[in-house]
Amino acid sequence: MRKIIFFILFTCLANAQDYSKLFNSLDSVQKSQVVDHMRKIKKLINYEIIKSGIKIGEKEFIKGVFFINNQGKFSVIIIDDKSKKYNDIISNIINNIPPSNCSKYFNEYTSFRFKLNEISDLEKYYNELMQEEKNNPQPISELNTYPSFKKSKFLDNKEKALKSFNDSMAEHIKVNFNYPEKAMNENIQGKTNVTFIISSEGEVNEIYACNAHPLLQLEGVRIIELLPKMTPGSKNGENIAIRYAQPLTFKMR
């Protein structure tokens, strides 16, 4: 499987914008902020692909595995055949990027899947990208109304609503869980933590899985990408994007 050097942080492209400002705080990133920084990577990739003039489909995703070594150097393996057409763009984005000291907070491997979005105003998107993001998805606990599966009954009691959501998640995982055959053959076990974003429209558009072997991470990503569109959560009467973390344990008996 082909590896593409992916020194994405502190980007300085010839004949392109300098992205060093975008990740100048990465060396001091806290573990709780890792997903927010992964989202910056996602947005940067999205921006460069759209800027290149490539037409994307209505539902087009990139799926792969980030790797970071103990020198803080990044690379990425794109595993979805449909995504491999972006290899050259991605490798150009991250050419000649110096390593950071963030490896102590990033796992050696982090699997991901995210949706590419059309950008109507590239200049506005770029300016927002370069600013410190103030509207990152919030933890589910911060909401007034929790997101819910369409089939679920509306509950105005927060404790019951959260339990209903968690129960629906557990049922979804049970129905779709599949221990990877290669992991079984090689006796690979472990616990992966899958963090995903439920958008203000109720769609799961971004998934990040860390810890454990990449085979287990990618199975976690696959399970979550099968989630249906939901009724979004809200705060102060406004639908907002939220971040949700789901641990998955793979244990052979």
* Tens-binned pLDDT, residue by residue, of the chain (253 aa): 444 333 333 333 333 455 666 656 555 555 556 677 778 888 888 998 999 888 888 788 999 888 877 777 777 788 788 888 888 887 776 655 556 666 565 657 889 999 999 999 999 988 888 776 656 788 888 888 888 887 777 667 778 888 888 999 999 999 999 999 999 999 999 999 999 999 999 999 899 998 889 999 999 999 999 999 999 988 888 999 999 999 999 998 7
* CA-based nearest residue to 140, from 196, 191, 194, 192: 196
Rounded Cα distance, 243 and 7, in Å = 26
| CATH numbers and ranges of domains, the chain | 4-130 (no CATH), 138-250 (3.30.1150)
- Check residue 236 and give left, alpha or beta (phi > 0: left; psi -120 to 50: alpha): left
**Which residues are registered as beta bridge partners of 204?**
198
Q: 82-91: long-range contacts at Cβ-Cβ below 8 A with a sequence spacing of 24 or more?
A: 85/54, 86/45, 86/49, 86/54, 86/62, 87/2, 87/4, 89/45, 89/48, 89/49, 89/52, 89/54, 90/4, 90/6, 90/8, 90/45, 90/48, 91/4, 91/5, 91/6
Rounded Cα distance, 63 and 241, in Å = 21
Secondary structure E strands in 29-86: 60-68, 74-78
